Amino acid sequence: MHQLFATRASRMKASEIRELLKLLDQPGIISFAGGIPDPTLFPADSFAQAFQQALGPQLQAQALQYSVSEGYMPLRQWIAEHMCQIGVECRADDVLITSGSQQALDYLGKLFLSPGDTALVGWPTYLGALAAFNAYEPRFDRLRTNGNAGAAEYGTEAGEGAIKFAYLSPDFANPTGETVDLRGREALLDLAQDLGCAIIEDGAYQALRYDGDAIPPVLALELARKGDLQACRTIYCGSFSKTLSPGLRVGWVVAAKPIISQLVLMKQAADLHSATINQMAVHQVAQACFDTHIPKVRDTYRARRDAMLAALDQHMPDGVSWTRPEGGMFIWLTLPPGSDGAQLLACALDTVKVAFVPGQAFHPDGSGTNTIRLSFSNSDEATIAEGIRRLGQILGT
Ligand code: PMP
């Protein structure tokens, strides 16, 4: 059967890490592996009310019927206002609803990448973006942003392919937790201008800032330069997954009209539209409680981040370093040269029952063996302290 598959299928591989992570179901494991929200933070009562209303006499016909590919208009309007608040002046027409931002990444890969084209990505970068783009058979080349130096550069690992876009998550990236500062964002815009390529700005964690001042999205900075969204080359992908609920699969794209129109055609071909009832519920809940709910989410995760940083300070041996994120869900550890994150995971599961994700999978070239990703979003402070103490034990021996 395999010989019947398209060439792209051979690039889609299950990772060995998944096999190890299956062990997470064992009792007593402390897991810093999955980058998932704490389910106790879902505004479940508000969603229950919203679904009841969507299924009530006024809305049920619309909620259960086919709908337009662009998305539920009141939600697009809410998102346009939200984007204005974070510095991106746009209108509902500039917004496309997607089934999570993951779908946007897939469509953007489909829209931009022919086999052999180049995508610039961080080394490391979000694994799901690599998986989405990989299906379109690109080469990956390394994007470096360095705000302190006001620089953005790319490597030459990929060779000759036409550079189509630079992908990054500028706020509290998955997996490093790092943020690209203002100068780094400006430098990235200069680089994209020089290369004539697009920028895919992944704002999945944008709302989860725990301290420091917000930095305008790359798209906001480009808008300030050009004065017109239609002249911008940055494509902003947003999501309700980290703030309200990932299970409802509601995300969005804001970009210039020619890009939105192409993505609408793709959505028509792929799934017609995202579930209307989910969009209605997200709209209702966002309107009723986004501004009051998000501070609660931030307070919870801030305390967990602080607990993890304090425990790392206390228990990590010399030679281990880590990031100090201002938001998001992740801390990235660099172990001494020669260490192997995958071996460490096998050992940690076996001996101290702690799980995390080895960093290699986030590197398109398979480097980063001596790195690991820890997520602090889904464990309470005491569990975090205990898990890091145990990790320190095996790293110190
Ligand atoms: N981008 C980043 C950086 C992520 O970490 C994730 C989820 N882990 C996504 C996009 C996809 O999220 P969703 O499809 O749920 O919006």
Distance in Å from the first CA to the final CA of the chain: 48
In angstroms, the CA 52 to CA 64 distance is 13
Q: What is the pTM of this model?
A: 0.96
Mutate to test the pocket of ligand 1, among 127, 168, 239 (most ligand atoms within 8 A of CB): 239
How far apart (Å, rounded) are the C-alpha atoms in residues 37 and 244?
Answer: 9
Q: How far is the CA of 397 from the centre of ligand 1 (A)?
A: 35
Q: Up-side HSE of residue 239: CA atoms within 13 Å toward CB?
A: 24
Rounded CA-CA distance 238/253 in Å is 6
Evaluate whether 121 touches 143 at the Cβ level (below 8 Å): yes
Closest CA relative to residue 271, chosen from 113, 96, 145? 96
CA distances from 239 to 67, 68, 70, 99 (A): 20, 19, 15, 9
Contact predicate 78/287, CB 8 Å:
yes
Structure tokens at 80: 């346009």
Residue to mutate, 171, 202, 240, ligand 1, most ligand atoms under 8 Å from C-beta: 202
CA 202 – ligand 1 centroid, Å = 8
Ligand 1 centroid vs 204 CA: distance in angstroms? 6
User: Do β-strands 163-168 and 118-121 pair in parallel, antiparallel, or remain unpaired?
Assistant: parallel
pLDDT, position 28: 87
Cα separation, 318 vs 330, whole angstroms: 21
Say how far apart CA 199 and CA 259 lie, in whole Å.
12
Rounded CA-CA distance 208/243 in Å is 8
- How far, in Å, are 76, 150, 251, 354 from residue 95 at the CA level? 6, 31, 10, 41
Question: For residue 263, which phi and psi values (nearest 5 degrees)?
Answer: -65, -35
**What is the distance in A from the centroid of ligand 1 to the CA of 90?**
23
Q: Say how many Å lie between the CA of residue 171 and the centre of ligand 1.
A: 13
How far is residue 145 CA from its own chain's centroid?
18
The Å distance, Cα 8 to ligand 1 centre, comes to: 22
Asked whether the beta carbons of 365 and 25 are under 8 A apart, the reply is no
Give the span between the Cα atoms of 372 and 177, in whole angstroms.
12
Domains of the chain are 2-42+292-395 (3.90.1150.10), 44-288 (3.40.640.10)
Pairwise CA distance, residues 236 & 95, whole Å: 10
Atom of ligand 1 nearest to the CA of 126: 3
Q: Which atom of ligand 1 is nearest to the CA of 250?
A: 16
Q: Which of 105, 167, 172, 174 to mutate to test the pocket of ligand 1 (most atoms within 8 A of CB)?
A: 174
The first and second tokens of residue 335, run together, are 């172990």
Task: Calculate Rg over the CA atoms of the chain.
Answer: 21
Pocket of ligand 1 (CB under 6 A): 35, 100-102, 126, 128, 169, 174, 202, 204, 239, 241, 246, 251
Length, in residues, of the chain:
397
pLDDT profile of the chain (397 residues), mean per 10 = 86 71 78 93 98 97 98 98 98 98 98 96 95 95 79 65 94 96 94 95 98 97 97 98 98 98 98 98 97 97 98 97 98 96 94 95 93 97 98 89
Q: Distance of alpha carbon 142 from its chain centroid, rounded?
A: 18
Residue 246 neighbours by CB distance under 10 Å: 18
Amino acid 230: pLDDT: 97
**Residue the block writes with tokens 């501004």:** 291
CA–CA dist 183, 258 (Å, integer) = 28
Ligand 1, atom nearest to 169 Cα: 3
Q: How far is the CA of 163 from the centre of ligand 1 (A)?
A: 23
